[in-house]
Amino acid sequence: METVQFDVVIVGAGPAGCAAAYKLSGNGLKIALIDKDTFPRDKICGDALGADVTKQFHQISKSLTEKLDQFTEKIPSNGVRFFSPKHQKMDIQLSKPKNIFGGGFVSKRIDFDNFFFSETAKLPDVTVFQNEKILSVINEPGKIVLQSATKNFEAAIALGADGAHSILNKKLTDNKVEKDHYCAGVRQYFENVKDFHPENHIELHFYKEILPGYLWVFPLPGNKANVGLGMLSSVVSKKKMNLKKEMMRLLETEPTLKDRFKDAKPLGEIEGFGLPLGSKKRTISGDRFLLLGDAAGLIDPFTGEGIANSIRSGRFAAAHVLKAFKQKQFDAVFNKRYDEHIYSKMWNELRMGHTMQKLARYPAIINFVVKKANKNKSVQTLINSMLNDMDLKKQLIKPSFYFRLFFS
Ligand SMILES: Cc1cc2nc3c(=O)[nH]c(=O)nc-3n(C[C@H](O)[C@H](O)[C@H](O)COP(=O)(O)OP(=O)(O)OC[C@H]3O[C@@H](n4cnc5c(N)ncnc54)[C@H](O)[C@@H]3O)c2cc1C
C-alpha cells in the first residue's frame, strides 16, 4: 500500500470540500482533495442554488464568482411560487445580493459540481484523487491516517466533507441518525413540464399528506425540470410511506400538477437520498478532524437547502485550519472553536428553519397565510420583505405575526 503525505486531507469534493480547498489554497499548505467518484458525478438534489450560494462564492474569490457568472449550464431564478394545500398560489420575489454577479439559479448538480471541482482542481497546491473511496480513519500520534483500497493518506488534519453518509462522522463521532432531524428525499428529472412562472420561480407544493415536507418542481435549462418530494424521516416511518409512489400519485392526481405533467416525459429513474437537517447541534470536530456541509448536518430544516451552508462551512473550516497550523494545535479542545464558530454564525437561521418546519405541520396555517397574501397586496409585500430580510424573518415565527394577519 502506497503512503502519501499532505498537510490537509479533504474527503469529498462536493461544494463543502471544494470551498475548503479553494480557501486554503495559496497559504503554503499541501492539500489533498479526495472523492470516491469521478467527476462529472451526479448528486441527488433539487438543484436550486439560492442567492446565498453566489454570496458564498464571492466570499471565496471574486474571480471564481466571475467564472460562475459565465458558467452557462444554469437558469436564473429569484422567486418562489408556493402552492397551499387548498391549491392557492403565492409568488414571492427574492432579492438579489447587491454589488455582485447574479443571484439565485437552478443548475443540475452534475454540471454545477463539475464546474466547481474543475476550478478547484486547477489550483497548484491542491492534488486531486478521484475514484478513491476512504474506507477507514485512524488517529495516530502526530497525524491522522485515512485509508482507501490503494493508499494511506497521512496529514496533520482531515476535513470530512463527505456528505450525508460521512465516513469521518461515522468513525470519529458518536453522532447518530435521528429521524426527527433527518429528511428523506426523492428526485426525478422530467422534460416538457408546462406553465412555469415566466421568471423561472422555483415551486414548492404543500399537500396535507406530506406535511411538514413538500413536493418541488424546479425549472432547468433545456425545457427540463427537477421534480422531487422531501419529508421528515420520522413522519415517513410513522405513516409507512413510499415516497416514490407518493410523488407519482401527486403528479397524476393533484389539480395544480396533473395537466402540467400530462405531456411530460420522465428522464431516468426516481432516486432517493437523505438530508441531515440542522435542527440539532452535533459534534462536528475532534482530534485532528473537522466535519463540513452535510457531514456536519447543516441543511435548513424548512427549505432543505444545504449547498450555501456547505460552502460557508468550507470557508470557516479553512480559516480554522490556517489558525491551527499557525499555532500548531490540532487537538479536540482547539478544534472545538470551529464548532462554536459554525453555530455562532448559523444556529439562529437553522433554529428559525426548524420553527418554520414545525409550523408547516399545520395545513391551516399555510392555507391561511397564502389566502391572506392573495387577498391583500400589502400582506404579500410584508411576507416578501420578511423572506428577504433576516431580522424581519424572525417575525414569521412569532404568534403575534399570525394574530396581526388575522385582523388584516
Ligand atoms: C433530495 C435532495 C434534494 C436537495 N435539494 C437541495 C436544493 O435544491 N438546494 C440546496 O441548496 N440543497 C439541496 N439539498 C441538499 C444538498 O444536496 C446538500 O446539502 C449538499 O450537496 C451538501 O454538500 P456537501 O459538499 O456537504 O456534500 P455532497 O454534495 O454530498 O458531496 C460529498 C462528496 O463526498 C464524496 N464521498 C462520500 N463518501 C466518500 C468517501 N468515503 N471517500 C471519498 N469520497 C466520498 C461523494 O462522492 C461526494 O462527491 C438536497 C438534498 C437532497 C438529498
pTM: 0.94
Q: Does 159 contact ligand 1 (Cβ within 6 A)?
A: no
* Residue 395 or 292, more confident: 292
The continuous run of DSSP H or E covering 345 comes out as helix 332-359
Atom of ligand 1 lying closest to residue 293 CA: 26
Cell matching residue 372? 391572506
- Is 20 a pocket residue for ligand 1 (Cβ < 6 Å)? no
Give me the mean pLDDT over the 298-324 stretch. 97
Q: What is the chain's percent helix, strand, coil content, to nearest 5?
A: 40, 25, 35
Residue-level pLDDT at 25: 98
**Given ligand 1 and candidates 75, 216, 292, 310, which is best to mutate, with the most ligand atoms within 8 Å of its CB?**
310
Residue 278 CB less than 6 A away from ligand 1: no
Burial of 268 (0-12, 13-18, 19+ CB in 10 A): exposed
Residue to mutate, 39, 55, 294, 313, ligand 1, most ligand atoms under 8 Å from C-beta: 294
Residue nearest (by alpha carbon) to ligand 1 atom 17 = 45
Please give the mean pLDDT across all residues of the chain: 92
Nearest-atom number in ligand 1 for the CA of 47 is: 8
CA of 236 to the centre of ligand 1 (A): 21
Cα 273 to ligand 1 centre (Å) = 9
Q: For residue 58, what pLDDT is reported?
A: 93
DSSP string, 192-222: ------TT--EEEE--GGGTT-EEEEEEETT
Handedness of CA 257, 262, 266, 272 (dihedral sign): positive
Does position 401 have pLDDT exceeding 80, yes or no? no
pLDDT for 397 beyond 80: no
* Contact yes or no for 302/282 (Cβ under 8 A): no
Q: Report the distance separating Cα 292 and Cα 120, nearest Å.
A: 17
For residues 243 and 236, is the Cβ–Cβ distance under 8 A? yes
Indicate the pLDDT class of residue 203, thresholds 50, 70 and 90.
very high
Q: Is the CB of 276 under 6 A from ligand 1?
A: no
- Give the single-character DSSP code of 3: E
Hey, which CATH number is domain 2-77+99-177+279-355, 2.40.110.10, 3.50.50.60, 3.40.50.2300, 3.40.47.10? 3.50.50.60
φ/ψ bin of 272: left (φ > 0), alpha (ψ from -120 to 50), beta (otherwise): beta
Going by C-alpha positions, the residue among 151, 277, 256 that lies closest to residue 196 is 256
Range(s) for CATH 3.50.50.60 in the chain?
Answer: 2-77+99-177+279-355
Res 384: pLDDT: 67
Mean pLDDT of 223-247: 97
Question: Is residue 110 predicted with pLDDT exceeding 70?
Answer: yes
Mutation to probe ligand 1, out of 9, 22, 35 (largest number of atoms < 8 A from CB): 35
Q: Tell me if 97 sits within 8 A of 51, measured CB to CB.
A: yes
Class of the domain covering 179-276:
alpha beta
Distance from the CA of 293 to the center of ligand 1, in angstroms? 8
CA of 119 to the centre of ligand 1 (A): 18
Could you tell me if the CB of 307 is within 6 A of ligand 1?
yes
Parallel/antiparallel/unpaired status of strands 265-276 and 143-147: unpaired
400: confidence class by pLDDT, cuts 50, 70, 90: low
> What's the start-to-end Cα distance of the chain, in Å?
70
247 lines ligand 1 (CB under 6 A): no
Rounded average pLDDT over 148-160: 98
Ranking 226-230, 361-365, 391-395 by mean pLDDT, the lowest is 391-395
Q: What is the identity of the amino acid at 117?
A: F
DSSP 19-76: HHHHHHTTSS--EEEE-SS-SS----S--EE-HHHHHHHHHH-HHHHHHHHH--S-EE
Determine how many CB atoms are found less than 10 A away from the CB of residue 43: 18
Chain-centre distance for alpha carbon 289: 21
Tens digit of each residue's pLDDT (9 = 90 or more) over 331-381: 999 999 999 999 999 999 999 889 888 888 888 887 877 787 777 776 677
Q: CB count, 10 Å around CB of 136?
A: 11
More confident residue, 326 or 375: 326
Assess whether the C-beta atom of 203 lies below 6 angstroms from ligand 1: no
Name beta bridge partners: 79: 93
pLDDT at 99 over 60: no
How many Cβ atoms are within 10 Å of 40's Cβ, its own excluded? 15
* Whole-number pLDDT of residue 4: 98
What value does the mean pLDDT take over residues 212-240? 96
- Compute the average pLDDT of residues 169-176: 97
Task: Indicate whether residue 161 lines ligand 1 (CB < 6 A).
Answer: yes
Stated as kind and residue range, the H or E segment containing 377 is helix 377-388
Q: Which atom of ligand 1 is nearest to the CA of 133?
A: 42
pLDDT of residue 100: 54
Region(s) of the chain under CATH 3.30.9.10 = 179-276
The pLDDT assigned to 399 comes to: 67
Q: How far is the CA of 112 from the centre of ligand 1 (A)?
A: 12
Nearest CA to ligand 1 atom 50: 45
143-147 and 136-140 beta bridge pairing: antiparallel
Q: How far apart are CA 305 and CA 57, in angstroms?
A: 16
What residue has cell string 444556529?
A: 347
pLDDT digits (tens, 9 = 90+) for 254-290: 999 999 999 999 999 999 999 999 999 999 999 999 9
What percent of the chain has pLDDT above 70? 90
Q: What is the dihedral of CA 165, 298, 138, 142, to 10 degrees?
A: 160
Atom of ligand 1 nearest to the CA of 292: 26
DSSP code, position 125: T
Average pLDDT over residues 56-85: 93
